[in-house]
Amino acid sequence: MAPELLQVLEDAKTRWTGKVKPGVDGGGAAAFHLECEAPELPDVCNWLFAERGFSFGGLIIEQRTRWELRYVFYGPDSGWAHVVTFLPATEGRVPSVSRLIHAADWHEREAEDLFGLVFEGHPRLGDFVLHNDVWQEGIEPMRKSFDGSRAVASREPDLTWKPRRIVEEAGAFAMPVGPVYSAATAPVHFQLETVGEDVIRAQPRLFWAYRGLEKIAEGRKADDVLLIAERISGTSAFAHSLALCQAVESLCQIEVPRRASWLRMFLAELERLRHHVAAIAGICESTALSVAAAQAAILEEELLRISGALTGHRYLFGMNVFGGLAADLEDNACRHAAAQVAQVSGRLATLQAMLSTSSSFLDRLENVGNVSASNARDFGLVGPIARASGVSRDLRRAQPYCGYERVEFQVPSESEGDGYARLRVFFQEAAQSARIIVEAAERIPAGRVRTPEAVLRPGAALGWVEAPGGAALHWIRLGDGGVVERYRIVTPSFANWHGFRLAAEDFAFQDFPIILATFALSVHENDR
Amino acid sequence: MSQWVIKGLRSGIKSTRYPRTSETAPGISPGLPVATPMSAELAQAMAARCPTAALEPARTGIDVNLRRCVHCFRCARGGDGAIGWERERDFECAGVTSHGDNFGRVFTRSIHILVVDTGDCGACLNEVKQLNNPYYNMHRLGFFFTPTPRHADVLLVVGALTEHMRLPLRKAYDAMPTPKRVVAVGACALSGGIFGPSFMCAGGVGDFLAVDVEVPGNPPAPLAILHGLLVVAGRKPPAPLYRRIEEVDGQG
Amino acid sequence: MSLLLVIILGLCATGIVLAIVLEQERIPAALGWLGAIASIVLLWFSGASLFGGAVFRATLWTIPSLATLTLSLDRLSALFLFVTGLVLLPGSIFASGNLSQYLGKYSLRSFSVWYFALFATLVLIPLSADAVSLLMLWELMSILIYLLVNFEHEDREHTRSGYLMLAIGEAGTLLIALALIILAGNGSLEFASMKAAGDALGEQARWAVFLLAFFGFGVKAGLIPVNFWLPQAYTSAPWPFVPVLAGATLNLGLYGIVRVNGDLLPVAIAGPGLVALTIGSVTALLGILYATTQSDLKTLLAHSSIENAGIITAALGAGFIFIASNHPAIAAIAFAAAFYHMLNHSIYKALLFVATGAVDSNAGTRNIDRLGGLIKVMPVTGAFFLVGALSIAALPPFNGFVSEWLTLQAMLQSAELASTGIKIVFAICGAILALTAGLAVTCFVKAFAMSFLGMARYESAAKASRARASSTAPMGFLAVLCVFLGVAPTYVIPLLDGAVAPIAHQARAADALVPPFFSGSIHHGELPSAFVADFHKLGAQVGQSVMPGRGLVVLHRGAAANPVVFAMSTSYMAVVLLLMLLGAYVVFRLIVARDRGVERRTVWDGGIRRLLPEMTYTGTGFSNPVRVIFEAIFQPTTVEDTRETVGKHFRAAIRRTRGENHVLDRLVLDPISDAALWMANGFARMHHGFLNAYVFYGLGALLAALLVARFT
């Protein structure tokens, strides 16, 4: 582990002598954990965040003999810190850290809704994942006692529930958008409070597509949960399945053959490239620059066809298995795909050049939807969105996995934080992905593509991946026989939806769809 | 601005000729399993491999219930007698339900579609969106997306129907004027997919709405969805959603 | 004729006596009956002159070395009296119904007394034919209006508005007095001799008379920069009085302008007309801008009155320019447009005020942001308000369309003028008026839609009761008039002709606008046959067997040098519209809906559980784009924005308030008051209490007087 991390560990020991139990994670992952009591929790977390430069990554809750709350932090440059606290099984109260670390806000609200834990001091607990006009309070589906396989028979929802209004101005009203709105969009509801021209407050209401994936995974075999992982968000299927595979492989000490590792990187970058091209198409579509949108859509379809021809599925479903890939890909096919990708990348560069000289297009993006660097850090934004605002963490660099340390690539970062900065980041990352693909195609070694039947053993581990939308964390706990006991999914869209309102507010109504398009958020990835 | 006009013109025509001719480009469809003859024990083993019970052993082989297939490819891979799988050409797979119907003569060449996502993974929705890209260009066939149910003729539903989306789906359906038809797209909408019925998901929209046309796949390729739309418009014949080995062999 | 006048004044006197004698509960009924009867007699009186040409003249008594108080009725006065009668009739009925809410709070006696006194004044002012009686009656009217506006005197706001109105009214009266004195010169103060003396005035005196009279009468007419009292006064005035205030008293200002510049001192150069045109156009634009961004219906209508007064003045100005440029035929069109618009404005503004009064009484509020969905609970009021809104928004086939169309056509005729500079001014002012017309549509779409359509935003709006008969009947009368004046312009224009002709120095001015297409009409033979043939091909003779009169097409043919034709027929438009609507209804009912029922479902709201009123557009939101586009004029002075948070990022509340003051306050009032205060401060510095300095001042004044005496 890096000396800086060890230093932080030492400082923690001296600062909270006796109150904090430090430890270093085995298995070679660069992580340490601090166990502390519930009352110390806000102080410890805030110390890591405010004074030592750590960023909040996610909250993992497990209900075992007692409650285990694991606050995962990213190190300033690399590494992890886990702050763990235990609560007795009957006592579900813990102090909230959200006032100090706002990035934990939604994690705590989700935990309260799904587990029934009370985060004292959090001002906004209540309707979040489970909508109050469909469910009553107290359902707590993530508790072990709740049977997730059947519908809940009797319910007493609050039919008079209405969203909170914040703007107090004469003539202000709250314009509702969704959940069914526009043409072919994912379900999300916005309450846009306005006096007519500008959106003063934009409040998204999510979880219309909440499928309870973490709950239905419990009790299933890990192989089937892999299928669920692919379908958290179909457009980032490979990335999420890769994260779960890495978690299980790290837990069960399964060695992944080098060929599989290279092919995984190849396919992951192919997915990233296609995701970013789709984002660019969405941005051009939102500004009604039809020809550019069509050009980008052509490239997206071509990438989908390349993926489909190469692996049999346009979204790369069914490729990852524990221990490698489910089927081998021929080297010629990979090189052919890489050549096609290079061609796509060239046309993408032309598109970028043309867009950067279209002043009416840039007018809609420049200085629109600004997210400042400090806000990006406070809200824990990740991925291209954060990198456009100066928060330049990329897990492929910070926490290399799957062989990324073996290839040359750049992690673009911009500082303006406006729509144009995000567009530029998408373009540059897409170019880098194409570069990795082309380089990887030449360097894939021969060999097996899968470790023969891996043995799954009980235990817990964290897997991570830099998904196209940003950092994703998967926490898996296996029981006997390869059955999943707990599956926790922290997605990049969850963090970025939280910060979306920063960009949408105080801009005109007409800018709203454009700002939404520049974020390229996935509702399904957030909702799970 | 003229750079865009020139760029567009120089890109040429990319649209597929389907449905006039079939489309054969690589990567357009993941295909679907076909009913394959095999021994009874093998059929049992194969059926056990399927995580969603889409494969059903029959007397002389294995039947496929397309509505449940989630494209995990477990049946297609594996050393012993893999199931048959038609790739590129197998996208005309939409079927009409027993109580459903197409539009008949009322709407054939101009249909407005409202898309409602009731909780899927996003892949089906993305494939639906691809129908507007220059490769498929559904406008040339007279299909248009509309944001409001008041203008919609077809309600295209994706997703496994979460509890939260019941009311919006019901309201959207009720707000559509007659005549209207419902097209369910994707394994989630047909049978719940890998999610299945649970405390949050209804396991498909078939019990909630009267579905007319079903398009199987996870996700179905854009051309499959297009086939489904052509079926609901009455311009293409439907395909069976249940592939029986008896029908393949011609044995009774 | 004098008998009729005596009857009118007698009824007013009876009203005053009864108001003092009767007990308070019976006063509203008395007011209603007497007011209605007096209005009808007034209509008869003025109609006899306007339609029949009857003349009336009476000298009252002579004030030595001043003037002989004279009353005289010519067709111009008759027109204004007729309009007043048309407004006072429904106004009195509405007032009688609305007055009883003040029982016990304020003195109905006082109201009734002042009301009838004002009635008499409104009748006598257009009749007065000498400066003294005019000024005395004008003063009396100003005071009575003040008393009526300040009727709810417990409210400080009302007293302030009333006082402002009174003060600026006094200034206006002063300007009028100066104008009339200059006009009289050395002669007597009767209008007859003023007319004769007018020719002898030099150019500077003419300008002085024009400007003084224009701005003096402009106070009452609501022209910038002296109309800043109007919105507040209209808002503070009690409901029973508001229709009369808007429909009758505003016209008196216009009457004064027309009387002085059209009759007593006819314009000879284009300058005065240009001033009137420009000020009218800018008044109209500012009026409608502020109307569009108002959320109080009463204030909205007040600003709209300013807009209409501006349009009328602009048309008058155009007419003056055409007279000065020797185009009497076009001047006649402009004046016809102005008078038509004045007539229309009185009718539809009174209608809108009565309807708004009914809304305020029954829904408890007149704030647009608190209303909504009223058409379900007050359908009759809603229908009449809609007629008023369509009329004021100048949509065919209602009356506002006819007068706006005529006004804009008159503007376009400026192409015939010689001077390029004048044409440029016409072009700019025409554009401003067109912009005004567009904004007026926005404004009244907002006023109607946000108040009557959609969902009720507050309890009181959802539970409003239906309007009383004493409100519905006047609304119905006025709405019918709106429709009639819109659908039958070819009958109205010849009636206005009597008032237009003397001012435009063009006899038979109506002929220029209503050609006798019907073969039965008198002057049909005078039309060139080719012309008749062309227009008969377009159907200009349709209806000649069933309708009396000259024709149903309003049409003007330019002079031989510029034979441009402009034409319109709201009569035909109305018929076609009715047929289309009827046809559509029949087709739908008999053919389309035959096998199918019509289902009603809830509004599509995106799939949320229920649509709340707070999610629907407010009036403020609807008009916000106008506020943003014209930011330079509105210039919000304070925008407070406080954001309450818990922790750093949890938001509890965002509170914003916007303060605005009127552009006139900024550009006119504030500089004047600042200057006055500066002078006052300067003078205050001179009052420091040192006796020596005061003696010095006296010495200085004596020296100055000696010097002046020495050198003159």
Per-residue confidence (pLDDT) for residue B8, from 0 to 100: 87
CA distance C285 to A441: 70
Q: Specify the residue for token string 């270093």.
A: A24
Per-residue confidence (pLDDT) for residue A342, from 0 to 100: 95
Interface-testing mutation among C601, C602, C611, with chain B (most B C-beta atoms within 10 A): C601
Contacts of A300 in chain B (CB under 8 A): 130, 133
Output the average pLDDT for chain C: 88
3-state secondary structure of B214: strand
CA distance C710 to C692: 27
Q: Categorize the per-residue pLDDT at C287 as very low, low, confident or very high, splitting at 50, 70 and 90.
A: very high
Q: Find the Cα–Cα–Cα–Cα dihedral C400, C402, C405, C407, rounded to 10°.
A: -80
Question: Is the model's pLDDT at C712 over the cut of 70?
Answer: yes
Per-residue confidence (pLDDT) for residue C48, from 0 to 100: 87
Per-residue confidence (pLDDT) for residue C633, from 0 to 100: 87
Residue pair C422/C325 in contact by the 8 Å Cβ criterion: yes
Q: Which residues contact A332 (CB under 8 A, 6 or more apart)?
A: none
CA atoms B51, B52, B58, B63: torsion sign: negative
In chain C, % of residues over pLDDT 70: 99
Fold (topology level) of B93-232: Rossmann fold (3.40.50)
Per-residue confidence (pLDDT) for residue C574, from 0 to 100: 92
pLDDT (tens digit, 9 = 90+) per residue, C517-542?
A: 887 777 777 777 777 787 888 777 78
User: What pairing do the DSSP bridges indicate for beta strands A459-467 and A470-478?
Assistant: antiparallel
- For residue A438, give the H/E element and its range: helix A419-443
CA distance A146 to A215: 9
Taking the Cβ of residue C617 and every Cβ of chain A, the question of whether any pair is shorter than 8 Å is answered with yes
Residues 249-278 of C with CB under 8 A from B: none
Contacts of A297 in chain B (CB under 8 A): 130, 132-134
User: What pairing do the DSSP bridges indicate for beta strands B242-243 and B61-65?
Assistant: antiparallel
Residue pair A519/A276 in contact by the 8 Å Cβ criterion: no
Q: Which residues contact C24 (CB under 8 A, 6 or more apart)?
A: C103, C107, C108, C109
Question: Is the model's pLDDT at A218 over the cut of 80?
Answer: yes
pLDDT (tens digit, 9 = 90+) per residue, C243-266?
A: 999 988 899 999 999 998 888 888
Out of A29-33, A479-483, C424-428, C653-657, least confident range: A29-33
Q: Specify the residue for token string 């459903």.
A: B100
CA atoms A227, A228, A234, A235: torsion sign: negative
Contacts of C609 in chain B (CB under 8 A): 167
Identify the closest residue of chain B to A182 by CA–CA distance. B147
Out of A242-251, B214-223, C522-531, C682-691, least confident range: C522-531
CA distance C236 to C230: 10
For residue A427, the number of C-alpha atoms closer than 13 Å in the C-beta half-sphere is 21
Contacts of B172 in chain C (CB under 8 A): 604, 607
Question: Is the model's pLDDT at B34 over the cut of 90?
Answer: no
Residue pair B89/B27 in contact by the 8 Å Cβ criterion: no
Q: Which amino acid is at C347?
A: I
| Distances in whole angstroms, Cα of residue C562 to Cα of each of C389, C415, C420, C554, C557 | 37, 9, 17, 18, 9
Per-residue confidence (pLDDT) for residue C638, from 0 to 100: 61
Per-residue confidence (pLDDT) for residue B252, from 0 to 100: 41
In chain C, % of residues over pLDDT 90: 41
Fold (topology level) of B32-89+242-249: Alpha-Beta Plaits (3.30.70)
pLDDT (tens digit, 9 = 90+) per residue, C334-362?
A: 999 999 999 999 999 999 999 999 999 88
CA distance C487 to C504: 26
Q: For residue B184, what are its two tokens?
A: 């369910």
How is A145-211 classified by DSSP, letter by letter? TS-TTS--------TT--PPP-EE-TT-EEEEE-SS-SSS----EEEEEESSSEEEEEEEE--TT--
Which chains does B contact via 3+ CB–CB distances below 8 A?
A, C
Question: Is the model's pLDDT at C59 over the cut of 90?
Answer: no
Per-residue confidence (pLDDT) for residue C552, from 0 to 100: 84
Q: How many angstroms away from the CA of A99 is the closest CA of chain C?
A: 5
Test C604 with B168 for CB contact under 8 angstroms: no
User: What pairing do the DSSP bridges indicate for beta strands B181-185 and B242-243?
Assistant: unpaired
Find the CB nearest B30 among A289, A292, A312: A312
Question: Is the model's pLDDT at B251 over the cut of 60?
Answer: no
CA distance C171 to C149: 18
How is C291-357 classified by DSSP, letter by letter? HHT--BHHHHHHHHHHHHHHHHHHHHHHHHHHHHTT-HHHHHHHHHHHHHHHHHHHHHHHHHHHHHH
Contacts of A159 in chain C (CB under 8 A): 609
| Sheet of strand A198-205, all strands in order from the earlier edge strand to the far edge | A173-177, A189-194, A198-205, A507-508
Residues 338-357 of A with CB under 8 A from B: 354, 357
Residues 583-612 of C with CB under 8 A from B: 601-602, 604-609
Find the CB nearest C604 among B149, B167, B169: B149
pLDDT (tens digit, 9 = 90+) per residue, B91-142?
A: 888 888 888 888 877 788 899 999 999 998 899 999 999 999 999 999 999 9
Question: Is the model's pLDDT at B16 over the cut of 50?
Answer: yes
Q: Which amino acid is at C416?
A: E
Note the maximum CA span of chain B.
66
- Mean of pLDDT values over C13-29: 87
Contacts of A179 in chain B (CB under 8 A): 165, 168
pLDDT (tens digit, 9 = 90+) per residue, B170-212?
A: 999 999 988 899 999 999 999 988 988 999 998 889 889 999 9
Q: How many angstroms away from the CA of A111 is the closest CA of chain C?
A: 18
Contacts of B130 in chain A (CB under 8 A): 297, 300-301, 304
Q: Which residues contact C129 (CB under 8 A, 6 or more apart)?
A: C57, C70, C71, C72, C190, C191, C192
Q: A278 vs B39, which has greater pLDDT?
A: A278
Q: How many angstroms away from the CA of C370 is the closest CA of chain A?
A: 9
Identify the closest residue of chain A to C367 by CA–CA distance. A171
Contacts of B168 in chain A (CB under 8 A): 179-180, 187, 208
Test A100 with C628 for CB contact under 8 angstroms: no
Q: Which amino acid is at C455?
A: M
Output the average pLDDT for chain A: 90
Per-residue confidence (pLDDT) for residue B248, from 0 to 100: 56
Q: What are phi and psi of A8, to 5 degrees?
A: -60, -40
Residue pair B207/B160 in contact by the 8 Å Cβ criterion: no
Find the CB nearest B172 among C602, C607, C609: C607
Q: How many angstroms away from the CA of C606 is the closest CA of chain B?
A: 7
Test C653 with A166 for CB contact under 8 angstroms: yes
pLDDT (tens digit, 9 = 90+) per residue, A404-430?
A: 988 888 999 999 899 999 999 999 999
- Mean of pLDDT values over B217-236: 92
CA distance C284 to C300: 13
Residue pair A197/C626 in contact by the 8 Å Cβ criterion: no
CA distance C623 to C290: 10
Q: Is ipTM beyond 0.90?
A: yes
- For residue C567, give the H/E element and its range: strand C565-568
Q: For residue A275, what are its two tokens?
A: 């995701």
CA distance C184 to C132: 11
Q: For residue B138, what are its two tokens?
A: 């559904």
CB atoms within 10 A of CB C316: 29
What DSSP state is assigned to residue C27?
H
Q: How many angstroms away from the CA of A158 is the closest CA of chain C?
A: 11
Test C604 with B169 for CB contact under 8 angstroms: no
Q: Categorize the per-residue pLDDT at A513 as very low, low, confident or very high, splitting at 50, 70 and 90.
A: very high
Test C654 with A175 for CB contact under 8 angstroms: no
CA distance A413 to B220: 37
Identify the closest residue of chain A to B137 by CA–CA distance. A294
pTM (predicted TM-score): 0.87
- For residue C80, give the H/E element and its range: helix C75-99
Residues 129-158 of A with CB under 8 A from B: 131, 134-135, 141, 146-152
Q: C468 vs C431, which has greater pLDDT?
A: C431
CA triple A172-A173-A178, angle to 5 deg: 150
Per-residue confidence (pLDDT) for residue A498, from 0 to 100: 93
Q: How many angstroms away from the CA of C607 is the closest CA of chain A?
A: 6
Backbone angle region of A53, left / alpha / beta, with phi > 0 → left and psi within -120 to 50 → alpha: left
CA distance B105 to B119: 33
Topology alike, domains B32-89+242-249 and B93-232 = no
Find the CB nearest A312 among B73, B136, B149: B73
CB atoms within 10 A of CB B3: 12
Test B168 with C601 for CB contact under 8 angstroms: no
Domain coordinates in residue numbering, chain B: 32-89+242-249, 93-232
User: What pairing do the DSSP bridges indicate for beta strands C565-568 and C554-557?
Assistant: antiparallel
What DSSP state is assigned to residue B190?
H
Q: B248 vs B36, which has greater pLDDT?
A: B36
Test C608 with B172 for CB contact under 8 angstroms: no
Beta bridge partners of B96: B213
Q: Categorize the per-residue pLDDT at B247 as very low, low, confident or very high, splitting at 50, 70 and 90.
A: low
Beta bridge partners of A447: none
For residue A401, the number of C-alpha atoms closer than 13 Å in the C-beta half-sphere is 27
Q: Which residues contact C195 (CB under 8 A, 6 or more apart)?
A: C263, C264, C265
CB atoms within 10 A of CB C340: 26
Q: Which residues contact C665 (CB under 8 A, 6 or more apart)?
A: C228
Which chains does C contact via 3+ CB–CB distances below 8 A?
A, B
CA triple C82-C87-C90, angle to 5 deg: 130
Q: Categorize the per-residue pLDDT at C396 as very low, low, confident or very high, splitting at 50, 70 and 90.
A: confident
